[in-house]
Amino acid sequence: MSLIQGIIKLKWPLSLERTLLGGQSFRFVKNENEDHYIGVYANILWKMKTKEKELHFEVIGELKAPNTNKSTYYKTLLTNYFRLNEDLNGDYEKWKKAHEHFDSKKVTDVALVTQLDQEVVETVFSFICSQNNNIKRISSLVEKLCVNFGEKICKFEDKDYYSFPTLEALSKESVETKLRELGFGYRSKYIQKAAEEIISKGGVEWLEKLKLMKYEDAHSELLKLSGIGPKVADCICLMCLNFLQAVPVDTHVKKIALHYVPELKNFKSMNMTMYRKIGNTFRQIYGDKSGVAQTVLFCKELTIFENEEKVIKKKPKKS
């Protein structure tokens, strides 16, 4: 039974599937039978779905009830999380005019993908886990972090749900050994060490202060942490520090970038010259929200890959 239910009116049709399951957040899953999504954000277990231009949500459980007006508290959290006050329709139209590739992908033929505004600690360590991994595997590792080092929020439909662990919980010396036992591999050392380093710099407050820096400076500061390279630093900048011009570059994004910079095919492997060229090209074309445009294209490419895989699997064998 839910603690509270609510409805938020939307300015534009929101795709929960592509937004929540497309590689931004790793805490939500889709219930196919009831067509809703369930997961943890802000130490709250949410159940939500969209209906036309409405976001329907239920609060199933939480670590600590708010002292403020509950009728507005949860709506404000979700409004900020999904950036519902942004003019996403206007952004899409600008991007379609900016380059024919964005228009050709028909990104507006379905509900829209939005850029989530996530919590800093969870984002940092989720994307340290993302190195050389796919979305399913990252989600599994993040779940292990929460179950083993987080705090139990509640039990729902025979499953226990946990908060994301604190910096203090992840910084303990025993964490690396435990993570190796759980299958985190080389990431084990990075997670424990990065937590330790962030605490020494000022903890969550230090991470929040990065939002006040210039994008390039915040990116440079993140690169000083264990386990964080250029792509992960850009993921953090984009996903939780409000640097919407940050463009995380991986193999999927490189494929997208070939439409803008054909000569990239001459690069056999990713290096910093190539990385910067791709990011700067996106920024020149799509402007101060180029990272959001890249997220939209990335999610569209993921859908295409899935459809292609289904077609390939169904092809009959040649006789």
CA distance 103 to 301: 14
- Helix, strand, coil shares of the chain, percent, nearest 5, are 55, 15, 35
CB contact at 8 A, 209 and 146:
no
Helix (H) / strand (E) containing 75: helix 70-81
**List 96, 231, 277, 289, catalytic entry:** 231
Residue recorded with tokens 């039974």: 1
Q: 212-238 burial by CB neighbour count: b if 16+ within 10 A, else e?
A: eeebeebbebbeebebbebbbbbbbbb
Contact 181, 217 (CB under 8 A): no
Q: How far is CA 319 from CA 208, 229, 314, 316, in A?
A: 61, 48, 15, 9
Residue where the block lists tokens 């379905």: 110
Look at residues 74, 185, 172, 191 and name the one whose alpha carbon lies nearest to residue 125: 191
Q: d(Cα 304, Cα 107) in Å, to the nearest integer?
A: 12
- The C-alpha atoms of residue 158 and residue 142 are separated, in whole angstroms, by 20
- Distances in whole angstroms, Cα of residue 199 to Cα of each of 193, 222, 233, 239: 10, 13, 18, 21
Identify whether 231 is a catalytic site residue: yes
Residues marked as catalytic: 231
